[in-house]
Structure 1
């Protein structure tokens, strides 16, 4: 069993089933040889309407706007919670985790999860675990007891024996300039609760960080991601995307950023349609903040991310949450290189 994992979990269901009480959790699972396991995580609930906050300033070159990259409140700080427990395997080979204590070691009512485990990825440097219906198409919300005996319905995680400290995290400049990373495509699966339903959406398409090594039909042919002058983020003007604000603002471009946040394996993604800014440099209202944790193999090689989206709908004038829970986007996803995909 790989020791150190980055894991995204969500309690996602239809509005008819949970009245928009969706939640997401992003953190680390650490497995020991004695059968014990610990998790520490950041978590957000749609009903709490968590807000976007500014992180580093994206002072990029080219046509990437200079904006403060947003993430979800709380993510730059300490983890918000944790569990301690034990793990083992079911008769059909699934990984069973039972959380019996909170982060302080105090006993709590047990919570059990059942994961599908896949080993031997990326030259056996990475393993993957998924909730049983994470890859199902169409999306299937599992009955309680299939993935968990509580409200967790979807999850994705990748593990290795690499450490979880900041020193294992690939820098932003390496993602763009290192030949091991900049010509590989990164894509994955995004399970999201929005408008009262749970669906699967794209994590942004099959995109990559470099330029010139792919074909002219690719989205960033001759248009690589730009490294910020502060070296803490990268930005990209994704030309001719699916954005559509009508004839008054015809640009189809989508602005994307990835930034370093805090310590450990943390990054954050932030994106929005350029036409929504209506001629201003930055769009500050209903943009998409996505906390991320890097997937790193035993050999220290970056392999992608797991992440969550915690999108609260706000009033475009006040930038404050407006109680429109149906318009929120709460989801879990992975965004990884090809050999980590099923």
Structure 2
């Protein structure tokens, strides 16, 4: 009996010695679990799109076992996306329906990718299960938030930025609680230049300024803002027509926000609501570790007809 017990103890010791050691936890990029990201392919500034351009709005989730998951919405330059009407309206302001890019409305398909990642210093490398790869730089501009910037990919994506934190992705900020200030940023887009009848692309700085927005209701903020002298905005307005832009920022809960704007001179007759080709910009909120609202990552898909309108990506934050 003693010999049998000794044998069992010996086997137990051997098993303990040869059992594999659990894999070491991966280092999350910037120490953050999830990122709100907009990424895409945009033709070089001033050159025509080729037809391969796309935009993607996504949440990236990094697990400590070295795996990554991406939940995303996708728009392609060579496919038309009719506008979708969302549930919130601008009741309390001009009582109009509000729209978003087709494919972002509630109930639309959310696509998914899974893969693995490695972090080396300030470099993040992702390999998706379909074999495509992405490379990013990682910075920590301040406590509570980290930033990803795309440096290259194997599938055509050439612009991208993401903002990450460790707050649960179910956390969002209600429109009434978003600070009404200017959120600066930048954009990259492909477009059909209707005035000169040609395809083009553009890169630049811009922003979302909420200082003049008023609360229509719990689900909508809105403003009608005159175009500054010398601005090229609302070039479709006829001579003598007042140049102003009507903006809507809406939400039906969660990180998704709907941003829409159009030139008011395009309203027909006595109509106060516009049903034409407004600028449709799906957005995801950027929130830091303290659950503070910091801005948006977004895309624009104002292209009811393939290869026309505008398709691009943008980032407007106070980070």
Contact 1:60 1:235 in 2 (8 A): no
For 2:237 and 2:256, the matched residues in 1 are separated by 36
Cα deviation code 1:208-265 (max 9, x no counterpart): 33xxxxxxxxxxxxxx311123x1111111123432444455111101111114x531
For 1:80 and 1:302, the matched residues in 2 are separated by 24
Q: 1:239 aligns with which of 226, 232, 235?
A: 226
Mapping of 1:261-340 within 5 angstroms?
Answer: 261=252, 263-279=253-269, 280-313=271-304, 321=305, 323=306, 325=307, 327-337=308-318, 340=319
- Using the TM superposition, give the Cα deviation of residue 85 of structure 1 relative to its aligned residue in structure 2, in angstroms: 0.8
1:30 pairs with 2:61 = yes
1:4 pairs with 2:34 = yes
Give the aligned partner of residue 93 of structure 1: 122
Cα 1:32–1:26 shift into 2, 3 Å: same
Mapping of 1:1-342 within 5 angstroms?
Answer: 1-13=31-43, 19-55=50-86, 56-61=88-93, 65-75=94-104, 76-90=106-120, 93-100=122-129, 108=130, 110-121=131-142, 124-132=143-151, 147-165=152-170, 168-175=171-178, 181-182=179-180, 184-195=181-192, 196-203=199-206, 205=207, 207-209=209-211, 224-229=212-217, 231-241=218-228, 242-247=233-238, 250-261=241-252, 263-279=253-269, 280-313=271-304, 321=305, 323=306, 325=307, 327-337=308-318, 340=319
TM-score by length of 1: 0.75
TM-score by length of 2: 0.80
Contact 1:71 1:268 in 2 (8 A): yes
Cα deviation code 1:124-164 (max 9, x no counterpart): 111111123xxxxxxxxxxxxxx101121111110000111
Q: Decide which structure has the larger Cα Rg and report it.
A: 2
Cα deviation code 1:265-306 (max 9, x no counterpart): 100100001111144212211110000000000000000000
Contact 1:192 1:201 in 2 (8 A): no
Contact 1:96 1:114 in 2 (8 A): yes
For 2:32 and 2:138, the matched residues in 1 are separated by 11
For 1:268 and 1:282, the matched residues in 2 are separated by 17
For 2:49 and 2:265, the matched residues in 1 are separated by 34
Cα 1:17–1:247 shift into 2, 3 Å: closer
Cα 1:249–1:282 shift into 2, 3 Å: farther
- Using the TM superposition, give the Cα deviation of residue 79 of structure 1 relative to its aligned residue in structure 2, in angstroms: 4.3
How many residue pairs align between the two structures? 275
Contact 1:236 1:257 in 2 (8 A): yes
Q: CA RMSD in A?
A: 2.2
User: Is the partner of 2:275 in helix, strand or coil?
Assistant: coil
User: Is the partner of 2:176 in helix, strand or coil?
Assistant: helix
Q: Which runs of 5+ in 2 are unaligned?
A: 1-30, 193-198
For 1:328 and 1:21, the matched residues in 2 are separated by 15
Contact 1:26 1:308 in 2 (8 A): yes
For 2:135 and 2:295, the matched residues in 1 are separated by 24
